Amino acid sequence: MKRESKIKQLLEKFLEAETNLKEEKILAEYFQNEDIKPEWEPYRDLFVYFEESHSDVPQKSFYLPTRSLFYSIQKYAAVAVVLIIGTLFYYSQNDRPENLGTYDDPEVALEETKKVFDLISYHLNSPKEDLKYLTTLEETKTKYINKITP
């Protein structure tokens, strides 16, 4: 009776995946015997299968394909080329002197500033020309649409 209570505890632990190898061996030995409880009979096949599968030897050995030395060198060479190109691109961008729009002569700076302000005012005033079309549209609307009574 004591043995069956221990087996019951081990079986519950096994079903919860909490057993170690020693406890699983005890369960396997128990289920190898002929005198087990009828309600545990389905577990017999499971443990018998586990024991039989330990003795199975694979029919064919297999090996994972290994990468050749050329492939490894090729991979590192590609990384090196990318790093070299990136470094050259970075330094070529930073070596160029940037034109910041600064002038040494104040009169030239004043003339360039006037040009920029003229350009800005042109773009700010250009929408006003389009507003005359809106006034024409408003006049047409009041002339025809407002005369319609619902």
Residue 7 forms part of a structural domain: yes
Residue 26 forms part of a structural domain: yes
- Which residue in the block uniquely carries the two structure tokens 């002038």? 103
Tell me, yes or no, whether 116 and 136 share the same domain. Answer: yes
Residue 145 forms part of a structural domain: yes
Residue 59 forms part of a structural domain: no
Sort 47 into a burial class: Cβ within 10 Å, 0-12 / 13-18 / 19+.
buried
pLDDT digits (tens, 9 = 90+) for 15-51: 888 888 888 888 888 877 767 777 877 777 777 777 6
The CA-based dihedral angle spanning residues 114, 115, 118, 124, taken in that order and rounded to the nearest 10 degrees: -120
pLDDT digits (tens, 9 = 90+) for 46-59: 777 776 666 656 66
Give the model's confidence band at 77: pLDDT under 50 very low, under 70 low, under 90 confident, else very high: very high
Q: Which residue has the higher pLDDT, 96 or 86?
A: 86
| CA gap 27, 43 in Å, rounded | 10
Mean of pLDDT values over 96-119 = 80
Residue spans of alpha helices (H) in the chain: 2-15, 21-32, 41-54, 69-95, 106-140
Query: Which domain range does residue 143 map to?
Result: 106-150
> Which range, of 36-45, 85-94, 111-120, 123-132, averages the lowest pLDDT?
123-132
Give the model's confidence band at 68: pLDDT under 50 very low, under 70 low, under 90 confident, else very high: confident
Tell me, yes or no, whether 94 and 112 share the same domain. Answer: no
Tell me, yes or no, whether 90 and 121 share the same domain. Answer: no
Asked if 14 and 27 touch (Cβ cutoff 8 Å), the reply is yes
Residue 138 forms part of a structural domain: yes
Residue 141 forms part of a structural domain: yes
Q: pTM for this structure? A: 0.35
Residue 92 forms part of a structural domain: yes
Our count of domains for the chain comes to 3
Asked if 119 and 126 touch (Cβ cutoff 8 Å), the reply is no
| CA gap 36, 89 in Å, rounded | 77
Tell me, yes or no, whether 84 and 45 share the same domain. Answer: no
